[in-house]
Amino acid sequence: MAIEVQESTQAKAPGRMGDKVFSTSSLVAGSLILAVLAAVAIFLVAQSLPAFLADPADVNDGQGFWTYVIPLVFGTIWAAALALVIALPFAIGIALFISHFAPRKLAQGLGYVIDLLAAVPSVVFGLWGITVLAPAVQPFYSWLVDNLGWIPLFAGPVSGTGRSILTVAVVLAVMILPIITALSREIFLQTPRLHEEAALALGATRWEMIKVAVLPFGRPGIISATMLGLGRALGETMAVAMVLSPSVIISFALIQSQNPTTIAANIALNFPEAHDLGVNVLIATGLILFLITLLVNSLARMVINRRKAFSGAN
């Protein structure tokens, strides 16, 4: 009997050792993520304090830090929000088409193209925006000013090059489209087949089945995908810096030559020439962008937690 117990203990030992290694590795990985996040936050706060404590007369030619940063915050949120408004309907429509309407071979090919689009570098999107998109949309902007110029969003004078905040929003929308589409597609494909068949058995059309079964099930995933795309749009640098004709202003006009710039693009454009307090000011704007992304993610988590009843875990 003692021999059998000893053999059983020896047989379980490798398994227990594997459990310990796995649990320790998981703990280290999770702790490392928190440590890196804390290190980034500490660096940003420490380097930003001189900008927050400096005399307003020494910041941005005497305008003060907050006078300088508020237009940047506005431009960041405004450009990302416009991109999200443009991209989200297309992303959900494409995801539904791939998951529930397209033939299998077409769905596989289209899904591959969407995934491939996410791998395109942002500088390529910036070049496309400058050389192709901006000249192509400039006549359309002129038409908007001539016919809808009484609407504040389309007020003139129109940009002669087409490099406006609306053009940047379109470029950002194309960049975040594959992220939202890919995640939404995977969520829609996980909808329980029983729910879909039950809706169809009760006489629902294909669209009604999607409305009552697929979309409620996928709502938390759509929110997560949207917030991930929004985070990409908030932090995008090169495409915005290349396409936009920036100004540190607050303006809701979409097609003028003077446009609000974003925090990330402003840092990229001004950091090479910054020195002394100017470096601290730019890092402080980076801290504010860091806080904005954390706030966006926290709000998304709150919304998802409210809708746990629709999650796939149930």
Helix (H) or strand (E) holding 175: helix 165-189
pLDDT tens-digit map of 3-32: 454 545 554 555 578 788 888 888 888 889
- Asked if residues 76 and 285 have their Cβ atoms less than 8 Å apart, the reply is no
Contact (CB, 8 A) for 182 and 224: no
**190 falls in which pLDDT band (50, 70, 90)?**
confident
SS3 307: coil
Angle between helices 165-189 and 215-235 (to 10 degrees): 140
Residue 110 has pLDDT above 90, yes or no: no
pLDDT one-digit tens code per residue, 125-155: 889 989 999 889 888 988 888 888 888 888 8
- Domain map (residue ranges) of the chain: 42-308
Residue 63 token pair? 């305008």
* pLDDT, average across residues 212-240: 86
pLDDT at 311: 46
Residue 56 has pLDDT above 80, yes or no: no
Mean pLDDT value across residues 222-233: 87
The predicted structure's pLDDT at residue 307:
59
The stretch 212-225 carries a mean pLDDT of 86
Residue 234 has pLDDT above 50, yes or no: yes
| Each residue's pLDDT tens digit, 31-52 | 898 899 889 889 988 888 888 8
What pLDDT is attached to residue 308?
56
| pLDDT score of 14 | 55
- Identify the pLDDT of residue 310: 46
Better-scored residue on pLDDT, 312 or 288: 288
| Averaged confidence pLDDT in the chain | 83
With 90 as the cut, is the pLDDT of residue 295 above it? no
Residues 233 and 175: their CA atoms lie apart, in Å, by 8
Fold for the domain defined by 42-308: MetI-like fold (1.10.3720)
